[in-house]
Amino acid sequence: MEENLLVLLSVIILIFIEILFHFMYWSSKMALVHNFFVISDLRDVTNKINNQLDINCMLERYEHVSIHDDIIIFIFKTLKWFKSENDTKTKATKGLFYYGISLIESDNLNTFLHIVVLWKELFKLAPETDVIPESGFSKKEIISQIENLIRLLEYATKSNKIVLHLGI
């Protein structure tokens, strides 16, 4: 009886350790992200009751990608070469509102797209590991996220739509 209890306890501890390991691994990979959505009009994604963005609606209805914060930080200075506006269109900035909402349209969207395309080419030249030392992402993972963003920006440009960025 005692022996069975010890075996059961050992199995429970091993399962707990494996769950803890997976949690730590995925939480480090998915910590902070910047979300990019393609929208036609800001009013389409605003809750009619309190005039706030309806994130759940956006995730279900609109094309979007998530880019890890480490990648955004790495390329952030070059993102200042285009302009964006906040969600009320009362304030403009160079690049993205890191902690807030950015709207990127027309010529600024084209510039953003070109910058990201060039970053993809630069990342192709990087070594396979330690591309962004703080992140732990492989070259393949980084390029995959960048390619997803390129596809989204190309779609927005061709469709004459707006890209809405949700900072961290």
- Token pair for 48: 């009619």
Structure confidence by residue, pLDDT tens digits, 112-147: 999 999 999 999 999 998 999 888 899 999 999 999
Structure confidence by residue, pLDDT tens digits, 10-45: 656 656 555 544 444 444 444 699 999 999 988 877
Structure confidence by residue, pLDDT tens digits, 36-88: 999 998 887 777 566 677 777 888 889 999 999 999 999 999 999 999 998 88
